[in-house]
């Protein structure tokens, strides 16, 4: 069995000062035995925070990965307002693609998501591809898939571990070499019920990761 993957999606939260406080609290990671031999943690802050998170983690020798929350479907070029994979790769190794908030609020289509995956892979970024159910199309080359039922996101009503495990099994059957995560109202109290399931390789944590202490508890309990 591989490491349990814990992806913290900080969404569109935290200004510079709040991010600094979050990082100072997260530093306790060095004092607590989180068993990072068996767990892998990936933090996904906003683009504006990637540099400070990277510097902080490397200055403090904190062994967690960094991910971006979005990527341009295009390569570098005349694309005002976009942050592209070539730029992201200097800061992060992972990128979230296909989150339901982006599919819904930004009209991201399957075609666009395929382009985002393709350009990310081209620059050596690892996509963490989020789907709402087992029917969503998984673009070629994706190796980390997160099942996030839309009603469970930010609602305090997670899927049942049994159903999440069954969906993860179906996703794995179609994508044999991939890791499958569960996301949607994961907390320190319920994480183990998901990570103890045979087909669930880890979790994506949104709201509960906004407090660093809570995220540390989640990592500890995973």
Q: Does 184 bind ligand PGA (CB under 6 A)?
A: yes
Taking the complex as a whole, the smallest distance from the CB of residue 112 to ligand PGA amounts, in Å, to 19
Q: Supply 68's token pair.
A: 């971006």
DSSP symbol at 216: H
Taking the complex as a whole, the smallest distance from the CB of residue 186 to ligand PGA amounts, in Å, to 5
* Cβ atoms 179, 5 nearer than 8 A: yes
* Cβ atoms 182, 168 nearer than 8 A: yes
38, burial (CB in 10 Å: exposed 0-12, middle 13-18, buried 19+): exposed
According to CB under 6 A, which one of 41, 153, 167, 215 is a site residue for ligand PGA? 153
Could you tell me which residues come within 8 angstroms of residue 143 by beta carbon, excluding any fewer than 6 positions away?
A: 126, 177, 178, 179
Choose, from 40, 99, 101, 108, the residue flagged as catalytic.
99
Length of the chain: 222
Q: Does 183 bind ligand PGA (CB under 6 A)?
A: yes
Per CB under 6 A, contacts with ligand PGA among 30-59 are none
Could you tell me which residues come within 8 angstroms of residue 100 by beta carbon, excluding any fewer than 6 positions away?
A: 130, 132, 148, 150, 153
Choose, from 108, 110, 148, 211, the residue flagged as catalytic.
148
Q: Which is nearer to ligand PGA, 122 or 163 (CB)?
A: 163
Q: How many residues in the shown chain lie near ligand PGA by CB under 6 A? A: 13
Stretch that binds ligand PGA, among 21-29, 33-41, 57-65, 178-186 (CB under 6 A): 178-186
Q: Does 148 bind ligand PGA (CB under 6 A)?
A: yes
Q: Does 186 bind ligand PGA (CB under 6 A)?
A: yes
Rounded distance between C-alpha atoms, residue 10 and residue 160, angstroms: 23
Distance set, CA 129 to CA 30, 37, 59 (Å): 30, 24, 30
According to CB under 6 A, which one of 185, 201, 216, 219 is a site residue for ligand PGA? 185
Rounded distance between C-alpha atoms, residue 87 and residue 90, angstroms: 6
Q: Is 99 a catalytic residue?
A: yes
Q: Which is nearer to ligand PGA, 188 or 204 (CB)?
A: 204
* Cβ atoms 183, 159 nearer than 8 A: no
Q: Does 154 bind ligand PGA (CB under 6 A)?
A: yes
Q: Is 157 a catalytic residue?
A: no
Active site residues: 99, 148
Interaction site with ligand PGA (CB under 6 A): 9, 148, 153-154, 183-186, 204-208
């Amino acid at each position: 069995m591989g490491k349990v993957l814990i992806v913290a999606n900080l969404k569109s939260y935290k200004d510079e000062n709040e991010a600094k406080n979050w990082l100072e609290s997260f530093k306790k990671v060095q004092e607590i035995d989180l068993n990072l031999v068996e767990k892998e943690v990936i933090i996904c802050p906003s683009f504006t925070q990637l540099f400070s998170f990277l510097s902080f983690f490397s200055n403090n020798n904190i062994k967690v990965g960094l991910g971006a929350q979005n990527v341009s479907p295009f390569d570098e070029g005349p694309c005002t307002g976009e942050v592209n994979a070539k730029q992201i790769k200097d800061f992060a190794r992972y990128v979230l693609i296909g989150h339901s908030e982006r599919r819904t609020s930004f009209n991201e289509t399957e075609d666009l998501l395929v382009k985002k995956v393709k350009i990310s892979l081209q620059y050596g970024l690892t996509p963490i591809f989020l789907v709402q159910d087992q029917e969503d199309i998984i673009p070629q080359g994706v190796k980390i898939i997160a099942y996030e039922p839309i009603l469970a996101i930010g609602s305090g009503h997670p899927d049942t571990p049994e159903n999440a495990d069954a969906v993860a099994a179906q996703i794995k059957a179609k994508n044999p070499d991939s890791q499958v995560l569960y996301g949607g109202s994961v907390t320190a109290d319920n994480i183990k019920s998901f990570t103890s399931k045979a087909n669930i390789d880890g979790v994506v944590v949104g709201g509960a990761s906004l407090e660093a202490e809570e995220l540390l508890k989640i990592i500890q309990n995973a």
